[in-house]
Homo-oligomer: A and B are copies of this chain.
């Protein structure tokens, strides 16, 4: 059976994989690594041997060689092939990847970064420079999404794909941490929540982050 490594605090990147697996109704095991110990369990030698980058999520495939696959976006791509969550044309797949690369380079680090700073670090412990960087660049990414979604249902080819799953994971928290979220993005967030097999992100066991249930 597929094995997913996630973290104890609710990671949007781990959630992306849970959400797709729920849509696909695929059974899997999960190991939640503790990120709040020192060192974090993702930095222990046993885990670094699986992923030298020391990050979650990571999956181990149920194949002959127990293939190890890190990087949430690559995991989504692997699992979505030949399913309704990825277009069948090369250009369609390319456009999905275009938005997934946008999410990793221009969106996640800022939107997820401000969420982490708000709930777990405490904004009072973050420099004005960092706060300004997270806010300005995160808002620019959200504005890019708002412009692109004008007149559209989903990000690519009017179908719900892993590009939507990747972008939903942290965008769902944007307004809670002070970003301005436009009407197109809000309507799109709601359309994602209405998809067959949708599940919410798990609650934070420490209670620092608000529940999304």
Contacts and interface: CB of A to CB of B under 8 A. Distances in A.
A71 B102 contact: yes
A109 to B, nearest CB: 7
Contacts of A104: 101, 104-105
A101 B129 contact: no
A97 B74 contact: yes
Contacts of A129: 127, 129-130
B53 A70 contact: no
Given A69-B94, A74-B101, A101-B74, A144 B53 contact: yes
A186 B95 CA distance: 34
B71 A98 contact: yes
A63 to B, nearest CB: 8
Copies of this chain present = 2
Interface residues of A, number: 35
A118 interface: no
A52 interface: yes
Contacts of A90: 78, 81
Nearest to A148: B52
Given A78-B90, A130-B129, A101 B53 contact: no
Nearest to A106: B53
A39 to B, nearest CB: 14
30 contacts: A52-B143, A52-B144, A52-B148, A53-B106, A53-B144, A55-B106, A69-B94, A69-B95, A69-B98, A70-B98, A71-B98, A71-B101, A71-B102, A71-B105, A72-B101, A73-B97, A73-B101, A74-B97, A77-B93, A77-B94, A77-B97, A97-B97, A100-B101, A104-B104, A104-B105, A105-B105, A105-B108, A109-B109, A129-B129, A129-B130
Interchain residue pairs A-B with the least CB separation, the first 7: A74-B98, A78-B94, A104-B105, A52-B147, A71-B98, A71-B101, A73-B101
